[in-house]
Structure 1
Amino acid sequence: MTRTDLAGVGTRTIRPRRDATWLVAIAAALWGTDAIFRLPLAQNTAASTVVFAEHVILVLALSPFLLRAFRAFGASPVSIKLAAIGIGVGASAIATVLFTLSFRSGDPITPVVTQKLQPVIAMVGAALLLGERLRPRFAFFAIPALIGAWLLAFPDPTQVSINRINVALLALGAATLWAAGTVLGRLASRTIGPLELTTLRFAFGLPASAAMVAATGSPWWVADLKSTGSVAALALVVGLVAMLLYYRGLRNTAASRATLAELAFPLTASVIGILWFDKVLDGSQWIGVALIVVAVTALSLHEARSRTTAVVDVDERPLVGTSG
Structure 2
Amino acid sequence: MRDRTWLVAAAAAIWGTDALLRKPLAGQLPSATVVFWEHLIVVLVLLPWLPAAGKAFRALDWRSRSALLVIGAGASAVGTALFTQALRLGDPVTPLVMQKLQPVIALVTAAVLLGERLRAGYWAYAVPALAGAWLMSFPDPFEVRPRAASAALLAFGAAVLWAVGTVLGRLVSAELSSRDVTVLRFAIGLPASALVVLAQGAPVAVTAGQLPPLVALALVPGLLGLTLYYLGLRATAASRATLAELAFPATAALIGVTLLGGSLSVTQWLGLAVVAAAVTALGLRESGHRPVVELTGAAPGGGRAGRPGPDGPAAGDPAHGRPSRPS
Query: Are 1:160 and 2:142 an aligned pair?
Result: no
1:60/1:130 CA distance change after superposition, 3 Å: same
Task: Report if the CA contact (8 A) 2:2-2:287 is conserved.
Answer: no
2:164 equivalent in structure 1: 180
1:278 aligns with 2:261: yes
Indicate which of 241, 257, 281 corresponds to 2:224.
241
Report the CA distance shift for 1:154/1:272 in structure 2 as closer, same or farther (over 3 A). Answer: closer
Letter matched to residue 94 of structure 1: V
How far is the alpha carbon of 1:154 from its aligned partner? 7.0
Q: CA RMSD in A?
A: 3.9
Identify if the C-alpha distance between structure 1 residues 236 and 317 changes in structure 2 by more than 3 Å, giving closer, same or farther.
closer
Q: CA deviation at 1:259?
A: 3.1
1:256 corresponds in structure 2 to: 239
Partner of 1:194: 178
Equivalent position of 1:93 in the other structure: 77
Q: Is the 2:250–2:272 contact (alpha carbons within 8 Å) kept by the matching residues of 1?
A: no
Matched letter for residue 253 of structure 2: S
Report the TM-score when normalising by structure 2: 0.74
- Quick check: 298-307 or 124-133, which moved more? 298-307
Q: Would you say 1:67 and 2:48 are equivalent positions? A: no
The number of aligned residues is 300
Aligned to 1:30: 14
Change (3 A) 1:243 1:216: same
Is the Cα–Cα contact under 8 Å of residues 33 and 202 in structure 2 kept in the other structure?
Answer: yes
* One-letter code aligned to 1:179: A
- Runs of 5+ in structure 1 lacking a partner? 1-16
In structure 2, distance between residues paired with 1:161 and 1:116: 13
Matches of 1:24 and 1:299 in 2, distance apart?
A: 12
1:298, 1:110 → 2: CA distance? Answer: 30
- Structure ranking higher in helix proportion: 1
| Residues 245 and 307 (structure 1), Cα distance of their counterparts in 2 relative to 1, 3 Å cut | closer
Q: Percent identity?
A: 53
* Whole-angstrom CA distance in 1 between matches of 2:170 and 2:282: 20
| Cα distance per residue 1:267-322 (max 9 Å; x no partner) | 2221101111121234555566566666666766776679583x3334466659xx
Distance 1:24 1:307 in 2: 20
Superposition pairs for residues 1-324 of structure 1, below 5 Å? 17-98=1-82, 100=84, 118-134=102-118, 152-153=137-138, 155=140, 157-158=142-143, 160=145, 162=147, 166=151, 174-222=158-206, 224-282=207-265, 285=268, 309=292, 311-314=293-296, 315=305, 319=318
Q: CA 1:98–1:220 in 2, change beyond 3 Å: closer, same or farther?
A: same
Tell me whether 78-87 or 235-244 shows the greater mean CA deviation.
Answer: 235-244
Letter in 2 for 1:204: I
Distance 1:27 1:49 in 2: 24
What's the TM-score, normalizing by structure 1? 0.75
**Contact 2:6 2:280 (8 Å CA) reproduced:** no
Q: Secondary structure at the match of 1:43?
A: coil
Distance 1:150 1:27, change over 3 A: closer
Residue 236 of structure 1 aligns with an amino acid whose one-letter code is L
Residue aligned with 1:192, SS: coil
Aligned 8 A contact 2:32 2:202 in 1:
yes
